Amino acid sequence: MRETFSSRKLFILSAIGSAVGLGNIWRFPYVAYENGGGAFLIPYLVALLTAGIPLLFLDYAIGHKFRGSAPLAFRRMSRPAEFLGWWQVLMCFVIAVYYAVIIGWAGMYAWYSISKAWGDDATGFFTGTFLEVGDPGVSMDFVPQVLWPLIAVWVITIVILVAGVRKGIGRANGIFMPLLLVMFLLLVISSLFLPGAATGLNAFFTPNWEALGDPAVWAAAYGHIFFSLSIAFGIMVTYSSYLRRKTDLTGSGMVVAFANSGFEMLAGIGVFAALGFMSVAAGTSVEESAAGGVGLAFMAFPTIISEAPFGAVLGVLFFGSLVFAGLTSLTSIVEVIISAVKDKMGWARRASALAVTLPLALVSVLLFGTTTGLHVLDIADAFVNQFGILFGAFVTVVVVAWLARKLPVLSNHLNLYGSIRMAGVWKLLVGIVAPIALGYISFEAFRTFITEPYGGYPDWMLNTFGWGMAAALVIIGILLTLIPWSKNSLLNDDPEY
């Protein structure tokens, strides 16, 4: 019988746990600032309402109606759509491999906040002493201070996932999420009292209206919403397949979406208040302080921690929040893969969890426990986010709405199990607005990748970890589709189905 969450509350907490992650805490503030500051909130809200929430509901409807992991649910919806489910599973594989290492870095930095290991040169420390970044290339030189925290992240993740949906995922979220909320609120409130906080908030909230005319800003908003809400890569399909039948789907979805965005706004406020402090203290502009996604957390924050009153406490709160937020997202990403293997092979929870997590952890440790890490991470992240997920989402909405023509069935399902009725608008958004927006954005991203080599990396690296990876994933996805299903999964003896 299919595993279930023990209550709707734990489902909502787990869905929020998945959505609130590294993306909210270091990615959003930086993306918003780069894309028009306060004016970014308009494209952000438009993307949330026109694509984010409608596609979140789509994921819920597919997972809850067809009650399966992503490949099984898509297959039950329309047989040829199984491949889409595997594409989502493979995206999760790639994301998990590098997401884990960022959590490991954050764990190490929580400790460094106390020992102030970076001395006076936080930037040089991050890439030099800490990551020991080599030239772009692949090496087998392990970096102990990165390797051990990474192994610890995998051990925790494996323990949670072997324990299952109820005893592992539900319970871990029940503990980590309240803890995260308290730590994060303390962090945001204390950063507002730093001298110079207002300068940072001004920089964050001063709108650059011209940015609204730039298509790249809109693309950034849509891209961020997908990553941030954990939609269109199988997570919400998987989690909602663990929900009991009688559940308010749309009401839960609204809670999740607004909790995620609320958290994101708070992160923007907290991070920019701290950056304001830093720039006032150093006499630089907030713009200089806010450089680079990965850099923002691991280069700018150490400087703040060294100089702010109670800096060590701020550091532990900030990096500790990243660890908890990251772990609850990582477990959701890996669960997508486990659930798919479990359904396809008909194996038990423990066997499926180990068969997925051990090789995954090994790849992650080999690639990112070494001096190779940062470059591969950068390339994989760009290809997956700007391309894999958005293009996958575009194909998914086209298949669901126009080829399989399932929108009427799914919207009936949402109305049957939802307190918010929105059939007509929802069909319009998923069937027309989302395909146009996603199609435009993903083709633009594709064009940019072809015309300008991403990040100035050597061709062979982009060909291996970018294009090579994409081609390999398509082939692996097809092969996975061809493996026969365990009879039990297709039989559907689930009384909740």
Q: Which of 16, 19, 180, 380 binds ligand MET (CB under 6 A)?
A: 19
- DSSP state for residue 486 in the 8-state scheme: P
Which conformational region is residue 37 in: left (phi greater than 0), alpha (psi within -120 to 50 degrees), or beta? Answer: left
Residue 245: CB minimum distance to ligand MET, A: 26
> Exposed, middle or buried, 346 (CB in 10 Å: 0-12/13-18/19+)?
middle
Are 299 and 291 within 8 A, CB to CB?
A: yes
Q: Which of 44, 112, 227, 272 binds ligand MET (CB under 6 A)?
A: 227
Residue 235: CB minimum distance to ligand MET, A: 7
Nearer to ligand MET, 52 or 315 (CB): 52
Residue 43: CB minimum distance to ligand MET, A: 18
Q: Which two tokens stand for residue 418?
A: 């939802």
Round to whole Å and give the CA distance between 231 and 60: 10
Residue 330: CB minimum distance to ligand MET, A: 8
By the rule CB under 6 A, 24 interacts with ligand MET: yes
By the rule CB under 6 A, 333 interacts with ligand MET: yes
In degrees, to the nearest 5, what angle opens at C-alpha 5 toward C-alphas 363 and 415? 110
Residue 315: CB minimum distance to ligand MET, A: 20
Round to whole Å and give the CA distance between 331 and 242: 15
The backbone torsions φ and ψ at residue 66, rounded to the nearest 5 degrees and listed phi first, read: -95, -5
Size, binding site for ligand MET by CB under 6 A: 11
Nearer to ligand MET, 143 or 441 (CB): 441
Q: Which of 23, 107, 431, 466 binds ligand MET (CB under 6 A)?
A: 23
Q: Which of 17, 21, 38, 293 binds ligand MET (CB under 6 A)?
A: 21
Nearer to ligand MET, 228 or 240 (CB): 228
Q: Which two tokens stand for residue 278?
A: 């830093």
Nearer to ligand MET, 293 or 477 (CB): 293
Give me the torsion for CA of 51, 52, 53, 55, rounded to 10°: 70
Nearer to ligand MET, 191 or 228 (CB): 228
- The residue range among 17-25, 37-45, 73-81, 168-176 that interacts with ligand MET, by the rule CB under 6 A, is 17-25
- The residue range among 138-146, 224-232, 313-321, 394-402 that interacts with ligand MET, by the rule CB under 6 A, is 224-232
Helix axes 390-398, 215-229, angle to 10 degrees: 80
Nearer to ligand MET, 22 or 290 (CB): 22
Q: Which of 50, 230, 328, 371 binds ligand MET (CB under 6 A)?
A: 230
How many CB atoms neighbour CB 382 within 10 A? Answer: 19
Nearer to ligand MET, 22 or 338 (CB): 22
Give me the torsion for CA of 249, 255, 258, 262, rounded to 10°: -150
Residue 38: CB minimum distance to ligand MET, A: 21
By the rule CB under 6 A, 173 interacts with ligand MET: no
Q: Which amino acid is at 168?
A: G
Please report, as residue ranges, which positions from 313 to 332 form the binding site for ligand MET (by CB under 6 A): 329
Residue 246: CB minimum distance to ligand MET, A: 27
Helix axes 197-205, 249-282, angle to 10 degrees: 130
Continuous segment of H or E residues that includes residue 329: helix 311-345
Residue 278: CB minimum distance to ligand MET, A: 24
Q: Which of 58, 95, 172, 361 binds ligand MET (CB under 6 A)?
A: 95
Q: Which of 14, 50, 199, 228 binds ligand MET (CB under 6 A)?
A: 228
Nearer to ligand MET, 181 or 422 (CB): 181
Residue 224: CB minimum distance to ligand MET, A: 9
Residue 269: CB minimum distance to ligand MET, A: 17
By the rule CB under 6 A, 438 interacts with ligand MET: no
- The residue range among 18-26, 64-72, 171-179, 193-201 that interacts with ligand MET, by the rule CB under 6 A, is 18-26
Nearer to ligand MET, 73 or 92 (CB): 92
Round to whole Å and give the CA distance between 378 and 454: 10
Nearer to ligand MET, 30 or 118 (CB): 30
How many CB atoms neighbour CB 199 within 10 A? Answer: 19
How many CB atoms neighbour CB 450 within 10 A? Answer: 9
The backbone torsions φ and ψ at residue 212, rounded to the nearest 5 degrees and listed phi first, read: -65, -20
HSE-up of residue 330 (Cα within 13 Å, Cβ side): 32
Nearest to 48 by CA among 223, 212, 239: 223
- Distance, C-alpha 401 to centroid of its chain: 25
Binding site for ligand MET (CB under 6 A): 19, 21-24, 95, 227-228, 230, 329, 333
